[in-house]
Structure 1
């Protein structure tokens, strides 16, 4: 190769090297600062990963609204021959009328009736809840609930509710003469809300004579249950609508019954006029005393009931009252009444005179104690 040829090739090689270096610098200028070494260029920031999607919040599952079922309830009257009996026999009614004509008993009866009526009509600032229960079935607690509810509804202007909390085929609707039930205590516990008015609430209840309303627990079927949660929800919600609520509770020591005793403003323990009934009820009073709740016993009335005309003659009522009178507990009696003993709907006009006086006196005493006051013990 000649020198000229080598020189030409050499110059081409230099030009090609320069051209490649220039191209590389141009690329560096595009990536960083012109003339800055490659190892001093700032590293590109890593890509920011997308924020994870928030976990979905589980919404509470609403309890389904109950489907009401209208039930036809047979009345015991349909199974009994003849007309309903009057509480007093004809001879007893005649004897009472004669005593009024020849004595001063009529004046005393009017004075006592006036005193009782005033106690029954005392004003209420908040709703009062009265619980009726017993230690054993057949004592007459449902009958007493119906009698108290009817008495308050008759004497008072504010609405009165009779609530059944006995799911074991309770008989309160039958005692009140109700033949159809639709909504129950458990149903209403799922429906009530603070925005409802009284006119909305009573649409789910059974209307009774006077200003009385009924909320049954069952529908005449075996197997119905009343959960403690439903009972509490119903009682808390209904208190703002009714001046007085009388609760027919299942027998002790059921959970709902025990809770109702503690939460009520007043309570009635119904016991049959037997030695076993009295001793069992005393055990309940001792249990209540052990709870250490001030005023609980003072708001309690024990009612000794006679389901036959001879019960009060075989039981020493005075000794039984002393055995049950504990820390302010009032002991009262409900005499035997032919009309009540026959069962079926209670017709207050057919009650015996002694029964009528005992019931109104009981209602006045219980309401007074529900207001935090005490009558004669």
Structure 2
């Protein structure tokens, strides 16, 4: 994937700084089975982070203080791998049912192709073209919510898996939740070593991708940067570390999906305001819709151009939701924001790793529409056309 100029000037224009070009050397030992050389690239110009976002002289995560970005760490500075979930809970998840029942899958398999099927095929093809549209610089998409349990990490994982499936350029999923994030579990990670805070001072924008991927966890078609190492501490993810990590990683990835902390934490606010598009996950309840409308109104006070680049994912966590979806959509579609309904899915509700083959067809279609609508807005933002609306917005209603 080619890079044109400094990608950081797009997203981090308010940061500024003078580019530098350190000379990275060999990468750290990659995770077993990783395709570290798959997207090897030449070093490019670094978008430096100004001094106020740099680390204090004596503060380096995990004792790491390399002389050059990407340089192998001393043995005592490399953090140990830790399991994503406690071993005693590893077998707690029982058999996960497929999203579509057997009868529905059988009927779909024997259905005679008619006008409706042809229309569905054309719609899916148009959605795929929107997801795959070419870009000249990386697009960053933040996924946030106003409360825990809204399905934020599930939506972020669905987006990352969908982009990785449809696109040929590298896709990155970043967990910007330094305490209790579940994105690694949803993407199937078994163990993690480096976190977002750890790599902020270890790599920079000139580090080749083959080196960078040694710090990341591979998932199906993409790469994952965890937010923590599974410990609850008072030290949440530092906004400075988040900015440094994102500035260093952006040039390498066509699409970056950021799973934020719940609002109104500082990192979540920074991520939502600095990315080209954003997704707000909201539970399909009256309380969830009301809270998300308040967030939309707040975003509009920050910058009126933010709502046209915002997509709301209305997540149905129960098959017995009593919410009137159409009224909820009308309440949330304000000043350019659009809404995509994500239906209840037995496979998603079970928790654990998301296996796309087990998802219901309606769930896969909703995830694709969500990715298409978000990519349309991210690309329109890059062109300075914040009012551009997705051709798929009309498909948001169930």
In the alignment, what sits opposite 2:327? 319
CA contact (8 A) 2:177 2:261 kept: yes
- Partners of 1:301 and 1:62 in 2: how far apart? 41
Sort the Cα spacing of 1:77 and 1:118 in 2 relative to 1 into closer, same or farther, 3 A.
farther
In the alignment, what sits opposite 2:200? 189
Unaligned runs of 5+ in 2: 1-55, 65-76, 381-387, 394-398
- Partners of 2:276 and 2:208 in 1: how far apart? 24
1:59-98 alignment, distance < 5 Å:
61=57, 63-64=59-60, 65-66=63-64, 67=77, 68-74=79-85, 78-81=91-94, 83-98=95-110
In the alignment, what sits opposite 1:370? 378
Residue correspondences, number: 312
Q: SS at the partner of 1:239?
A: helix
1:205-244 alignment, distance < 5 Å:
205-210=216-221, 212-223=222-233, 224-244=235-255
CA contact (8 A) 1:77 1:344 kept: no
State the Cα distance separating 1:106 from its structure 2 match. Answer: 2.0
Matched, 1:135 2:146: yes
Deviations 1:84-112 (A, max 9, x none): 210011122233345x3164322112111
In the alignment, what sits opposite 1:26? none
- Partners of 1:209 and 1:270 in 2: how far apart? 23
> Normalized per residue, which structure has more helix?
1
Q: Which among 298, 303, 311 is matched to residue 313 of structure 2?
A: 303
- Partners of 1:262 and 1:110 in 2: how far apart? 36
Q: SS at the partner of 2:318?
A: coil
In the alignment, what sits opposite 1:331? 339
Q: SS at the partner of 2:251?
A: coil
In the alignment, what sits opposite 1:45? none
Unaligned runs of 5+ in 1: 1-59
Q: CA RMSD in A?
A: 1.6
Instruction: Provide TM-score, normalisation by structure 1.
Output: 0.80
Instruction: Provide TM-score, normalisation by structure 2.
Output: 0.75
Bigger CA radius of gyration: 1
CA contact (8 A) 2:200 2:242 kept: yes
Q: SS at the partner of 1:289?
A: helix
CA contact (8 A) 2:340 2:369 kept: no
In the alignment, what sits opposite 2:172? 161
Q: Which among 116, 138, 150 is matched to residue 105 of structure 1?
A: 116
Which aligned segments of 4 or more residues in structure 1 are displaced greater than 4 angstroms?
none
